[in-house]
Chains A and B, each alone.
Chain A
Amino acid sequence: MKIEKKELVDELIERSLKGEKLSISRLISMVERSDEYAPYIMEKISPHAGKAYYIGVTGPPGAGKSTTVDRLISMFCKNNLSVGVIAVDPSSPFSGGSLLGDRVRMNVKSEKMDVFIRSMSSGRVMGGLARTSKEAARILDACGKQIIIIETVGVGQSELDIAEATDTVVVILTPESGDSIQIMKAGLMEIADIFVINKADRPGAEDISTSIRGMLKRSLRKRDWDPQIFMTSASISKGIDELYAGIWSHYDHLDENSRLEQRRKRQLRQELHTRIENEFAKILWDMVHKKDIEQVVNDAWLRRADPQNTAQQFVWSSLRDSGLWPQKQ
């Protein structure tokens, strides 16, 4: 039974690497659902990944992210590049279900376009991506897509995960995004490689562009890249050529002085750090889980002990009790 499934998975992987859509789609689902074979799939897939150029698109809901992605897909395809898209939308915190609408704007106009679009619901993750967005992107990369575009949830609060998952971050705003404080609060100034003021057909586009330029000038952070600002009207395809060229100019910048390598290594370091931490935590929790946390809560409550010290004592006494740590230092 087990062996049969492994053979099935191996076949799926083989077909996926040849670019067969149905198999790629199944693989993504298995990883998305934390199938027992998910780690195996990622192990087999990863050596083939890393060739694609990863572009992140973020910004508040309704700014025109999906519309812009649609236009960019056309541009890449026109230049004979294959494109994989991961489009993330929020889940309902109540039912866990979701209504994913990004595909409404995305239309593949011709059979010749080599495009794979996958929608994902964010689940309970807060960073703008789904738990397995990165894995899905890696699968598309490994299976031959040359350009990977990831569209975030766009709740405008904590969209920073995208900067850890992509080579170029495009932040899309509109004249209505107005208030520069909002932009700063969302941390968008820090992560944007390219700003787009979309819906430039509406009044106020110049103002917001000026205020972004001002903020960038005042920012004390040292950059080796000056974020560019583009005005677009994605729904009528205005300004898309310039944006497309701008994206490639950021790629050219990354291509020099091994900046791309540095960026990806930094991301990898960050990701590994988080994953190792999680793994450690999981193991340690398993070892001490016999200890009742409710009892500690109650203890702290009665003694009015502060949580920081309580937590520290909990960890140390757990370690000693489990024999992982010598009784006396």
Chain B
Amino acid sequence: MDRKIKVVMAKLGLDIHWRGVYLVSQFMKEAGMDVVYLGNKFPTEIVEAAIEEDADVVGLSSLSGNHLALGPIVVDMLREKGLDRVKVFMGGVMPPDHAKRLEKEYGVQKVFLPDTPMQEIIDGINAAVNNTH
């Protein structure tokens, strides 16, 4: 693929933790991606942004427990709007079995838990996007 990957990144809902999402966004930029950072946003706004930005990837950061409540809504709304090719990645703090459920039952491409090396995240995104092009 000869074009840059476009990512829409958000802190899910009212989550106040910013260090993880900021670090990941910086690394994506250094890896040559265009990252549109939304700050704190709810599913409707996140999906609207994904449409307007023609995003390849939506990234959601959740460290304060709203991952199961809001994550799946984002995936569903994207599919409803016809954005089937958009991959959703999540990261943050949650029980590992929740992460598995988000991946297996709710259509999240991959959840990255704390202490994941940055390169692993970048590689994961590159692989997932390049698979569909």
A and B are partners in one complex rather than unrelated chains: yes
CA–CA, A91 to B29, complex, Å?
9
Contact B52 A116 (CB under 8 A): yes
Is A97 an interface residue when CB atoms closer than 8 A count as contact? yes
Indicate if the CB atoms of A92 and B38 lie closer than 8 Å. no
Task: Name B35's contact: one of A33, A94, A97, A108 (CB within 8 Å).
Answer: A97
Given A95-B29, A107-B45, A100 contacting B52 (CB threshold 8 A): no
Chain B positions 39 through 62: 1 when the CB is less than 8 Å from some CB of chain A, otherwise 0: 100000100110111100000000
- Contact A118–B28 (Cβ < 8 Å): no
Could you mark each residue 165-207 of chain A with 1 if its beta carbon is under 8 Å from any beta carbon of chain B, else 0? Answer: 0000000000000000000000000000000000000000000
Given A95-B31, A99-B25, A99-B37, verify A108-B45 contact (CB < 8 Å): yes
Residue in A closest to B8 when the chains form the complex, CB atoms: A103
> In the complex, are the beta carbons of A100 and B34 less than 8 A apart?
yes
In the complex, which range does the number of interface residues on chain A fall in? 20 to 34
A22 touches B82 (CB 8 A): yes
Give A93 to B4 CA distance when docked, in angstroms: 14
A104 interface residue (CB < 8 Å to B): yes
**A99 and B54 form a contact (CB under 8 A):** no
* B133 at interface, CB cutoff 8 A: no
Interface: B81 (CB within 8 A): yes
Q: B64 contacts the other chain (Cβ, under 8 Å)? A: no
Q: Which residues of B contact A29 (CB under 8 A)?
A: 54
Given contact pairs A22-B81, A22-B82, A104-B39, A97 touches B34 in the complex (Cβ within 8 A):
yes
B29 and A119 within 8 A (CB): no
- Provide the B6-47 mask, 1 if CB < 8 A to any CB of A, else 0: 000000000000000000011011111111111100000100
Q: Could you list some 7 contacts between A and B, CB below 8 A?
A: A25-B51, A98-B29, A99-B35, A103-B37, A103-B49, A104-B39, A119-B36
Given A101-B39, A103-B39, A118-B53, 8 additional A-B pairs, CB 8 A: A21-B51, A25-B54, A96-B4, A99-B26, A100-B37, A103-B38, A117-B52, A119-B53
Alpha-carbon gap, A97 to B122, bound state (A): 13
**Interfacial residues, chain B to chain A (CB-CB below 8 A):** 3-4, 25-26, 28-39, 45, 48-49, 51-54, 81-83
Query: Which residues 101-160 in A have Cβ within 8 Å of B in the complex?
Result: 101, 103-104, 107-108, 116-119, 121
Q: Which residue of A lies closest to B6 (CB)?
A: A29
Asked if A48 CB lies within 8 Å of chain B CBs, one says no
Give the residue among B34, B38, B51 with the most A Cβ atoms within 10 A: B34
Given contacts A95-B29, A98-B29, contact A26 B54 (CB under 8 A): yes
Question: Shortest distance in angstroms between B30's beta carbon and chain A's nearest beta carbon?
Answer: 5
- Tell me if A21 and B32 are in contact (CB < 8 A): no
For the complex, what is the distance from the CA of A117 to the CA of B34, rounded to whole Å?
16
B68 to chain A, nearest CB (A): 25
Residue of B with least CB distance to A105: B39
CA A107 to CA B40, docked complex, whole Å: 10
- Judge whether A95 and B30 touch: CB under 8 Å: yes
Assuming the contacts A103-B37, A108-B45, asked whether A96 and B52 have C-beta atoms less than 8 A apart, the reply is no
Interface flag for A28 (CB, 8 Å): yes
Q: Verify B52–A97 contact, CB threshold 8 A.
A: no
A25 touches B53 (CB 8 A): yes
Q: Which 3 A-B pairs have the closest CB atoms?
A: A104-B39, A97-B29, A25-B54
CB distance from B42 to the nearest CB of A (A): 10
